Structure 1
Amino acid sequence: MTQGTLGFGCMRLPVRDGVYDDIDLDLFERMVDLFLERGYTYFDTSYVYHNGKSENALRKALVERHPRDSFTVATKLPTWLVDSEEAPKRYFDEQRAKLGVDYVDYYLLHTLRVGLYDSAMVPFHVFEAMQAEKEAGRIRNLGFSFHDDPATLDRILTDHPEVDFVQIILNYYDWDSLWINSRECYETIRKHGKKVVVMEPVKGGLLADPPAPRALAKMRAMHPDWSPASWAIRFAAGMDGVLVVLSGMSTLEQVEDNTASMRQARPLTNEERDLCFECAREVRESGPVGTADFGRFAGIGGRGNLAAGMADAYNSSVIQSSRGLFAAEQNYYRNQLIHAGLPERPWLPDVVRDAEGNDVTELMKNAEDWLLGHMI
């Protein structure tokens, strides 16, 4: 069984005065140096992080200050901007220049989902263009990040067996969530024999301080020296086939904690995993739907599990947004509407009842309004 290593995610870099694109380069350099000093080498960025400033910052903090063979760089093609067959190479060349590298160790097609795949990746032959860059030696490993359902993931991997890895959200909270569905996505990737890169192991920060006092007390009693974030990172890193677990870090203290946790990491025991799932249930129960069981919402409007997924996604999104965190569920509602053949507008019946006959109209209308209003 392989044990994943730690990757430095460059989406939440330290900034000055809360300005997202004013990166604190001095602090970032110290964080990079400590990360490398602790024996870790994988840095993940993209064309759009920090309003397009992340790749330049990584060049200054890492590439211009350390030998090229001492680190690996991952970055991502902005797939939603691709509007021609020439666009992928144009963006790729721009990214190499911003990073100051001749080749990219891990290159990803960013945030693939059914709409983008069918409207841009297939007609503009994006996979083929990037495979040509790999064959020319300018890409060492080719993959994609993914935000959709397991069936779409299976379709893409069947169409493109040439890819080396897939990056997915994987954490104990989303392991069996109805839309993100980390477990089935992970199993699909492994079925195709590909490596897994883990993003959001701490669910954007939620699992660093989860609203689950009962489960947290048990976690502290079992391992007093483990932080809540380290529980989450250990859960993801212990999966077979995981290449790297990304953690977006904004402080030196986070670098210290995450690297220390990974050095001591080992696959969790069944008891430890069960405690993680207990924590996830308690967090879900703290949300506006007040439950971790969304089965009673299935079948509403004759749309299978769509309403159940809406309730789950809305519940999780409100928990996160109320704590100032980004909710990844926002990436999924458009996909679900496409899969259901529905337009991007309200579709619920005027009166909504769950499987027990309870009137849940207000709750479900709130969920629908929130998801439509925050859809990406």
Structure 2
Amino acid sequence: MQMNRFKGTEVSALGLGCMRLPKVTPEKEDIDYTRAQQIVDYAYEHGINYFDTAHMYHGGMSEEFVGHALKKYNRSSYFLATKMPVWMADTPAGVERIFNLQLSRLQTDYFDFYLIHALNKSVFQRCKELGAYEFLARKKQEGAIRFLGFSFHDVPDQLEIICNEYEWDFAQIQLNYLDWEMQDAKRQYEILERHGLPCIVMEPVRGGLLASPCEASNRIFKEARPEQSVASWAIRYAASLPNVLTVLSGMSNLEQIRDNVSTMEHFEPLTEQDYSVISRAVAAYKAHSTIPCTGCRYCMDCPNGVDIPKMFSLYNHYAISRDADGYRTAYAALPEAERAESCIACGICAQHCPQAISIPEKLAQIRETVAKL
């Protein structure tokens, strides 16, 4: 496994993200412990030593699972990362309560990497109001946190403000070859590099999208390197950047983790020719008008029952395939409450979307599209 040096330690260049673990019931958040344990074990046995979770992943069940799954391994042999959702704390005491609950769930007395979760302008303001950074800095001094950082979902100018406000050890941003320009990941990466903050990459495969962007893109990748998976291009893209500490991938089955591990065990940084291939594949993908949803489910649950990620997934499949009959059939098979027609445009979902998607507007667009099929 490719390793990267960080403050006297060695971190695996591939990390296991625990937001998309295998589930017992696909439409729910319940984790299939047997299959998920197999993924964790495979990761550990093949040199992955960075395990990333969060308070809200899998409806609060991810931390409990990760604590259970890693318990059999020597605590000093891996890095454990989780995150503080300050929007879930009403008071400074609430921040402490969440932190202590996380220690309990994860069956540990310290975190290696601890992040303030999903910082943007409003969440950062909430962080300051609650004194969250100051509390976590004290926990770091006490030894309950080794390295303190944050994950980020906002514009580059806000990232600059956050980097200047406090002393951080690292930061986590969404970075992949599609978002390098579309979500301004390039500027975010450059800001972290300038501040000397190692970059942890989330969504390198954009919620699975870049494992198969579209037929034209897939063909471009396969013609260039027939022996490599399409997903491997996305992993290599992120891992080739010099300031990237680890690339987090939410691997939900053994096939995915075997492929990603193989990529990083025989890691080859991208060449100029590879970058040219990616540019052509991105151009082919951009020819389709899709919704930039990663399937993170931060927007859920909708108070009116709309299955927002499912709506966007079906629409994107149609936008790329142009299979009107298939789209119409799949849409009609869903319960009425889960369809776009049930949206009342309350806007609660949009407030939580890391991609800043105007969700009610996109659902209205979907309604119009379906009506015309």
> Do both proteins adopt the same fold according to a TM-score greater than 0.5, normalized to the shorter chain?
yes
Q: Distance in 1 between matches of 2:205 and 2:139?
A: 33
Matched residues, percent identical?
37
Amino acid at match of 2:155: D
38-47 or 81-90, which deviates more:
81-90
| Matched-pair contact (CA < 8 Å) for 1:199–1:247 | yes
Distance of 2:197 and 2:314 partners within structure 1: 31
Q: Which residue of 2 aligns with 1:139?
A: 145
Alpha-carbon distance change, 251 to 188 in structure 1, aligned in 2, over 3 angstroms = same
CA RMSD of aligned residues (A): 2.7
Q: Give the 3 Å change call, closer, same or farther, for CA 286–98 of structure 1 in structure 2.
A: same
Deviation at 1:84, TM superposition (A): 1.5
Is the 2:81–2:112 contact (alpha carbons within 8 Å) kept by the matching residues of 1?
A: yes
Cα drift, residue 209 of structure 1: 0.7
1:198-217 correspondence runs (5 A): 198-213=201-216, 215-217=217-219
Report the equivalent of 2:194. Answer: 191
Q: Does 1:231 align with 2:233?
A: yes
Is the 1:109–1:143 Cα contact (8 Å) retained in structure 2? yes
Change (3 A) 1:196 1:231: same
Cα-to-partner distance string for 1:279-319 (whole Å, 9 max, x where unaligned): 12211211169xxxxxxxxxxxxxxxxxxxxxxxxxxx957
On the 8 A contact 1:112/1:148 being kept in 2, the answer is yes
Q: CA deviation at 1:236?
A: 0.1
> Residue 266 of structure 1: CA displacement?
2.5
Gap regions ≥5 residues in structure 2: 5-11, 292-310, 319-348, 367-373
| Structure 2 equivalent of residue 322 of structure 1 | 316
2:160 to 151, 154, 158: 154
- Residue 332 of structure 2 is matched in structure 1 by none
Q: Which secondary structure does the structure 2 equivalent of 1:145 belong to?
A: strand
Say which SS state the counterpart of residue 95 (structure 1) adopts: helix
**CA 1:26 to 1:269, structure 2 compared with 1: closer, same or farther past 3 Å?**
same
Aligned pair in 2 of structure 1 residues 369, 185: CA closer, same or farther (>3 Å)? farther
Q: What do residues 2-49 of structure 1 show as CA deviations (whole Å, max 9, x unaligned)?
A: 867000010010111315332111111111111111111111000011
Distance 1:32 1:333, change over 3 A: closer
1:313 alignment partner in structure 2: none
Q: 1:288 to 1:66 in 2, by over 3 A?
A: closer
Counterpart of 1:181 in structure 2: which amino acid? D
1:263 to 259, 262, 265: 265
Query: TM-score if structure 2 supplies the norm length?
Result: 0.77
1:275 pairs, out of 274, 277, 281, with 277
Shift in Å at residue 82 of structure 1?
Answer: 2.3
The verdict on how the C-alpha distance between 1:250 and 1:333 changes in structure 2, with shifts beyond 3 A counting, is: closer
Among candidates 168, 172, 192, match of residue 173 of structure 2: 168
1:345 and 1:227 map into 2 onto residues whose CA distance is: 32
Match in the other structure for 1:333: 356
Change (3 A) 1:218 1:283: closer
Q: Which amino acid in 1 is paired with 2:316?
A: S
Q: Secondary structure at the match of 2:172?
A: strand
Q: 2:38 matched to which residue of 1?
A: 30
Q: Distance in 2 between matches of 1:23 and 1:41?
A: 21
* In structure 2, distance between residues paired with 1:128 and 1:103: 17
Alignment of structure 1 residues 295-306 onto 2, 5 Å: none
Per-residue CA distance 1:95-154 (angstroms, 9 max, x = gap): 010000010011111100001112x11122211111111111100111110000100000
Aligned pair 1:52/2:60, yes or no?
yes
3-state SS, counterpart of residue 118 of structure 2: strand
Equivalence for 1:73: 80
Of residues 9, 21, 30, the one that matches 1:13 is 21
- Kindly provide the amino acid, as one letter, of the partner of residue 169 in structure 1: Q
SS across alignment from 1:122? helix
* TM-score of the aligned structures, taking structure 1 as reference length: 0.76
Task: Output the CA distance in 2 between the equivalents of 1:138 and 1:331.
Answer: 28
